[in-house]
Amino acid sequence: MNTLILGHVHKSFARTEGQDVTHALNDINFSVQDGEFLSIVGPSGCGKSTIMRLIAGLIFPTAGTITLNGHPITAPDTERGMVFQKPTLFPWLTVEQNLSFTAKLRGLTKNPDYRAEAERLLTLAGLSDFRNDYPHQLSGGMAQRLALIRTMINHPKVFLLDEPLGALDAFTRMNMQDEILSLWQRSNHIVLMVTHDIDEALYLGTRIIVMAPRPGRIRADMANDMPYPRNRTSDEFLQWRKKVLRLLDFGQDINTKEESQ
């Protein structure tokens, strides 16, 4: 059982030398285990992406601890795969070469199962006919789809998604949501997703964390017990949507514990 724990995590950034610091996160505490899909929502500047980068090992807490299976996270690792808001592709590699980069390092590119999955993901992302193109020849949405499936194919123990679907059209976005769900349900590993889209958070997540703005802090951590597959137009789904919207109205004094129940 994989377990990710953030304990009393604070993060501050120096603005300029001799100036005040920016307090991005304040006392973040939560744990996630295999089989959980954690959706994180909140306004811009509340530290959602900072949390993802901390878990990825790209930056480090000012105070507090982050551990995976009891081991402190001190650097990036293939066990934690991250998809960013913008595609991070190798510009000198083709679509197919970008997808297979990690597999090539691990000597898996000749494995029939790997090759079959690569073809399936290329088809899913609508990139089969562009396998020999380079990133600069792709649209923004196509490049982001490639970045997403490049992480999917590695089956990380912790799958970090930092608003990866924002550049996609609505139809492709819903297809990719279903594929992410399918990947998570097959692997049973941990998925954390940052999104501004409340419907997306509710459609995917087994838990919803609502963040309050700077310094970023957790306003609510709620178990989402709607059964899969979820219906975006059901009364239950719409009630959940209203609940999250109320929590995002920071002018209201809402008791987090009551809302979490």
- Domain spans in the chain, listed from the N-terminal domain onward: 89-155
Phi/psi for 232 (5° steps) reads -65, -15
pTM for the structure as a whole: 0.86
Report pLDDT for 45. 87
Tokens matching residue 89? 């592709």
Determine contact, residues 147/164, Cβ cutoff 8 Å.
yes
Give the C-alpha separation, 186 to 35, whole Å: 10
Report pLDDT for 197. 93
Query: Looking at the predicted structure, is the pLDDT value of residue 222 above 90?
Result: yes
The DSSP bridge partners found for residue 23 are 12
% of the chain at pLDDT higher than 70: 94
* Weakest-pLDDT range from 84-98, 104-118, 198-212: 104-118
Tokens matching residue 197? 């889209």
Average pLDDT in the 55-82 region?
A: 95
Strand order in the sheet with 158-162: 80-83, 158-162, 190-194, 37-41, 207-212, 217-223
Q: Which one has a higher pLDDT value, 172 or 35?
A: 35
The DSSP bridge partners found for residue 7 are 65
Average pLDDT in the 222-248 region?
A: 96
Query: Looking at the predicted structure, is the pLDDT value of residue 213 above 90?
Result: no
Residue 121: CB atoms within 10 Å: 21
pLDDT classification of 18: cutoffs 50, 70, 90: low
Report pLDDT for 144. 85
- Mean predicted lDDT score pLDDT of the chain: 90
Give the tens place of pLDDT for each residue, 186-209: 888 999 999 999 999 999 999 999
Average pLDDT in the 214-233 region?
A: 95
Average pLDDT in the 94-122 region?
A: 89
Give the list of residues 6+ apart from residue 121 with CB closer than 8 angstroms, or none: 99, 149, 152, 153
Give the C-alpha separation, 149 to 17, whole Å: 40
Query: Looking at the predicted structure, is the pLDDT value of residue 255 above 50?
Result: no
Residue type present at position 108: L
Average pLDDT in the 46-62 region?
A: 96
The residue to which tokens 């377990």 are assigned: 3
Does residue 177 sit in helix, strand or coil? helix
% of the chain at pLDDT higher than 90: 61
Report pLDDT for 111. 86
Report pLDDT for 191. 96
Report pLDDT for 106. 80
Q: What is the dihedral of CA 55, 61, 67, 72, to 10 degrees?
A: 110
Report pLDDT for 250. 58
Give the C-alpha separation, 27 to 75, whole Å: 21
Determine contact, residues 207/4, Cβ cutoff 8 Å.
no
Query: Looking at the predicted structure, is the pLDDT value of residue 259 above 50?
Result: no
Tokens matching residue 36? 């959980």
* Weakest-pLDDT range from 33-37, 75-79, 234-238: 75-79
Query: Looking at the predicted structure, is the pLDDT value of residue 171 above 90?
Result: no
Closest-CA residue to 208 (of 69, 13, 42): 42
Report pLDDT for 257. 40
Q: In this structure, are strands 21-33 and 37-41 parallel, antiparallel, or unpaired?
A: unpaired
